[in-house]
Structure 1
Amino acid sequence: MNTSNTIRGEEANVRAVIAAWADAIRRKDATAALSHGAADYLHFSLAPPLIDAGVGTTDLDAWFETWDGPLDLELRDLTVTAGDAVAFSHSLNRLAGNKKREGRQELWFRCTLGFRKIGGAWKIAHEHESVPFYMDGSLRAAVDLNP
């Protein structure tokens, strides 16, 4: 039977996973970041392709290598809804850092994470990142927005 204390406890557990995952991204630790993913993890990333299933450490390490130093990842307005077996979160995230050969980069984007409890542990089953685009016919990504 669910009680409000159980639900609050599950929310706290999901938030702990999100915090550990975000910290691994900041440190550019692909193994630690991906350790929070389910075996059938599905990623709708900002980068192509449209659907990315089974991202491995090689791909994530290659992306991390395009940055000098640690990454700054801020999660703003993080909201978590958790039940006994599934949960989801959404936030506005800011990614910033020094891109090799390009200098300082900063981007706000939307992030939704879907979780499943597997073997008693919360795992990220689905990650969806997006930026809005200008509806003026240009189809330009609106990467200049701030919350």
Structure 2
Amino acid sequence: MKDTDGGSTNMEFLCLGYLDEAEWDNKSKEEQAEIMRICTEYDSEGPNLEIQRIVGASPEAVFEHFTCADKLERWWGPRSGKTDWTTPSVEMTPETGGHFRTCIRSPEGQDYWARGNVIEVEKPGRLVFTHQWEENQGSHPEVKRIRITLSPFGPQTRVRMRIDGYTSDESRDSEVEGWHQCLDRLVNHVQKTDDEAILRSLVAEWSRHVAAKDSDSMMKHYHPDVILYDAIPPYKTVGREAVKQAWDQCFPCLPEVCGSEHRDLEFRVSGDLAVVNGLHRFRPEPEEHPCGGSYLRLTVVFQRTQGAWKVIHEHISQPFNPMNEKVWNIKNPDVLDMPDYAACGPNLEVPQ
């Protein structure tokens, strides 16, 4: 890089992370801002890499996935086969002049550290930073400049990534697959995060309809061919209409005021399938009503059909005590209590 007088400067070295930090800290804010402005005009004449992806979230949300350490660590890094690399350490100051340092870990446990400087931040549309593998890390030691541009694409975001600073085609080509995998992981992670939020809202909506004893609204997100394994006979109920009838038969057994509560819900999303498991409990008034005597175990399988999540399978159960063949109530989910199995054996007599 040349200055306006034609002389050589060290601005390029600052942009690429070589300038001593003490020298940088001694500069005024105005000097730092001007240096960073010059840095943004630097473009490598060597090989570069450009990648685009469409991410299913707003630019504001996607920007946070690049600039918040707790979000970045969930998707940053490549894959080995079907196994994602992990990111055990992320340090980022998302402001002009800030620092950037990450550690990505291979499935075999090998750590790779990289560092850089944040050159430009324009929320929520632009982020520019440098990236250099630390000593003896990565395949090539050169310092790259990574430019991220985010723009609206309907309700989604178009992500453009440009990487400059490669010293050879070989160097660039060695990283092409890894950077593509990295952005693929961003797309998948944001999709899963969005899907979980949608599924949580569907479960909460279902719970409100249960409390209102509104079976029609409860069935809104059920597939026509849903299969229910209920906690009470029959052991299997097939079809949305049959499940609705089962609830209509249940509601008269509940008190007039009866809330619905979930806890310990876990969500697992893979493509167009999702599994939700946890506990459900009725909250009757008065509390002494028998319907509220125990939590019920709940597993729900959702399938995305024509863009909407639908329940295709539901399983509700309670454990039983094999020592007396009676239902084992789950009164306190924080305690994994169980009966005394000491008398269990081939000669065990079960009360009739």
Alignment equivalent of 1:25, drawn from 210, 214, 219: 210
TM-score by length of 1: 0.88
4+ runs of 1 displaced by more than 3 Å?
56-59
Change (3 A) 1:98 1:46: farther
Q: Residue 131 of structure 1 corresponds to which residue in structure 2?
A: 318
Offset of 1:97 from its aligned partner?
2.0
1:93 and 2:262 aligned: no
Q: How many residues align?
A: 143
| TM-aligned CA deviation for residue 146 of structure 1 | 2.1
What does residue 326 of structure 2 align with? 140
**Normalised TM-score (structure 2):** 0.38
Question: Does the residue aligned with 2:218 lie in a helix, a strand or coil?
Answer: helix
One-letter amino acid matched to 1:48:
P
State the Cα distance separating 1:56 from its structure 2 match: 4.6
Residue of structure 2 equivalent to 1:59? 246
Q: Residue 8 of structure 1: CA displacement?
A: 0.6
Partner in structure 2 of residue 40 of structure 1: 225
CA distance in 2, matches of 1:122, 1:144: 30
Q: Residues 78-127 of structure 1, C-alpha deviation per residue, up to 9 Å, x if partnerless?
A: 1111122000101111123259xxx6121211000000011111011111
Q: Is the 8 A contact 2:237 2:243 kept in 1?
A: no
User: Does structure 1 retain, via aligned residues, the 8 Å contact 2:296–2:330?
Assistant: no
- Secondary structure of 1:3's counterpart equals helix
Cα distance in 1 for residues equivalent to 2:233 and 2:285: 21
In structure 1, what is the Cα distance between the partners aligned to 2:230 and 2:285?
A: 20
CA contact (8 A) 1:134 1:141 kept: yes
Contact 1:67 1:98 in 2 (8 A): no
**Aligned equivalents of 1:66, 1:122: Cα separation in 2:** 30
Separation in structure 2 between the aligned mates of residue 8 and residue 144 of structure 1, nearest angstrom = 31
Could you tell me how far 1:17 is from its partner in structure 2? 1.1
Describe the shift of the 1:42–1:65 C-alpha distance in structure 2 as closer, same or farther (beyond 3 A).
same
Deviations 1:49-76 (A, max 9, x none): 1111122534322211222323222111
For 1:74, the aligned partner's letter is E
* Preserved contact between residue 115 and residue 126 of structure 1 (Cα < 8 Å): yes
In structure 2, how many angstroms separate the alpha carbons of the residues matched to 1:64 and 1:98? 14
Hey, which of these two has a bigger chunk of strand by percent? 1
Distance 2:271 2:330 in 1: 38
8 Å Cα contact 1:114/1:126 also seen in 2: yes
Deviation readout 1:14-61 (Å, 9 max, x if unpaired): 111111111111111000111111011110111101111122534322
Structure 2 segments unaligned to the other structure (5+ residues): 1-183, 334-352
**Residues 1:74 and 2:256 aligned together:** no
Checking the alignment, whether the CA contact within 8 Å between 2:228 and 2:243 is kept in structure 1 is no
The one of the two structures with greater contact order (alpha-carbon pairs below 8 A, sep at least 6) is 1
3-state SS of paired residue (1:10): helix
Quote the offset at 1:12 in angstroms: 1.0
Q: Which moved more, 1:55-64 or 1:10-19?
A: 55-64
2:188 partner amino acid: T
